[in-house]
Structure 1
Amino acid sequence: MNIESIMGELITLLIMALALGMDAFSVGLGMGLIKLKIKQIFYIGIIIGVFHIVMPLMGMMIGKLLSDTFGTIATLLGGGLLILLGMQMIFASFNKDDEPLITPVGFGLFVFALSVSLDSFSVGLSLGIYGTKTILTVIIFGLVSMVLTWFGLLVGKHVQNWIGSYSEALGGSILLAFGIKLIFPF
């Protein structure tokens, strides 16, 4: 393999990682609009990065065995989870007496990470069929997603101060819209 083909493959993987990581950025932006501490933001980014390693790795392994149908199901599940998270945040913003049903802590963080990494599973299925370099691919996907999650959460945290009490409803709207976009690509 020559240097040009290696660089071409790296650039392709970086572009794919950025595309997949934009989910994490967008959802991080929405989730950053709720009150989070810097320590929570750090852990959320790490967990999202780990999920963006594990999910495409599983997809690549299964992709050698299955068809594209399973990837479509994963995308629909991810969209459904984001819609539920977004609706919950919107409703919670109007009812300030209740704690949000799902927050990016504990089980909520698991649901959050799963929802933004299901598309990585789908991509992993395709990459598994084509025989991409597994370790390099998942490390790039994980690192890029982690950094983009941190960036989205920090931007959301900063914007939260500007828009005050409407920030949680706006964050929920972002998650809801992104979930709808996953299910109904337009």
Structure 2
Amino acid sequence: MSAMIGEILTLVIMALALGMDAFSVGLGMGMYNLRRRQIFKIGLTIGLFHVWMPLVGILAGKFLSAKFGTFASLIGGLLLIILGVQMIWGSFKKGDEKVMTPVGFGLIVFALSVSLDSFSLGLTLGIYGAKTIMVIICFGIVATLQAWAGLLLGRKVQGWIGPYSEALGGTILLAFGVKLLPLFW
């Protein structure tokens, strides 16, 4: 029984660490002037991606080398950089339609960018034989809650700093994307 509690505690700690990107990026994206319904959908989508990506990673972890994790970080970083630049650019082009928003395809790109590292961790957990159901439930719930917290806090901050909030949000996404790039570690 205590071994199971220890395993769950370890997974929760991993999920919290892994979900910090969902919180941080949610903080930036929350400054995009989102409605509560959009925040709810974005959080759920991120949570679902944090279920599917480690699941696929766990399954693939039995077959792939650990070097794939670097590739996933590279792709995730590049996606966040693209989103950040688009938000910064969009903040200076008032009145024009945004190129990418956290709706539809933009939401998929956003959720994918913050969940690619969970794929990498899934690879590792698959190699070590972690309990798949416990991993995906834990990662999904924690990522959803952290994304909601970041989005709601970002929405609040957006109200405080007004028209500069979208540029600040884009800068946060851009900086986080650069941080994820393996070249800068």
- What is residue 34 of structure 1 aligned with on the other side? 32
Aligned CA RMSD, in angstroms, stands at 0.9
Tell me the CA shift for residue 100 of structure 1: 1.6
Counterpart for residue 136 of structure 2? 138
Distance in structure 2 (CA, Å) of the matches to 1:148 and 1:75: 20
Q: Who is 2:65 aligned against? A: 67
Q: Percent identity of the aligned residues?
A: 64
Gaps of 5+ in 2: none
The one-letter code sitting in structure 2 at the alignment partner of 1:134 is: T
| Residue type of the alignment partner of 1:65 | F
Using the TM superposition, give the Cα deviation of residue 71 of structure 1 relative to its aligned residue in structure 2, in angstroms: 1.4
Give the Cα separation in 2 of the matches to 1:70 and 1:21. Answer: 20
Residue matched to 1:104: 102
Partner of residue 89, structure 1? 87
Residue 157 of structure 1: aligned partner? 155
State the alpha-carbon separation in 1 of the partners of residues 70 and 98 from structure 2.
30
Distance in 1 of aligned mates of 2:28 and 2:98: 14
Amino acid at match of 1:172: G
Distance 1:140 1:11 in 2: 10
Q: 2:47 aligns with which of 49, 55, 58?
A: 49
Partners of 1:118 and 1:19 in 2: how far apart? Answer: 14
- CA-CA distance at 1:5 after TM superposition: 1.2
How does the TM-score come out when normalised to structure 1?
Answer: 0.97
Deviation at 1:97, TM superposition (A): 2.5
Q: In structure 1, list runs of 5 or more residues that go unmatched.
A: none
Equivalent positions of 1:107-118 (< 5 A) are 107-118=105-116
Number of residue equivalences: 184
Deviating above 6 A after TM superposition, structure 1's stretches of 4 or more consecutive aligned residues are none
In structure 2, C-alpha distance between the alignment counterparts of 1:56 and 1:160, rounded to whole Å: 32
CA distance in 2, matches of 1:164, 1:97: 16
How far off is 1:160 after superposition? 0.5
Shift of the alpha carbon at 1:95? 1.1
Moved more, 88-97 or 171-180: 88-97
C-alpha separation in 2, matches of 1:145 and 1:101: 26
Could you say which residue in structure 2 is the equivalent of 1:22?
A: 20
Deviations 1:60-119 (A, max 9, x none): 000001101211111100000000100110011011122221110000000000000000
* TM-score, length-scaled by structure 2: 0.97
Amino acid at match of 2:18: L
Distance, in Å, in 2 between the alignment partners of 1:23 and 1:98 is 29
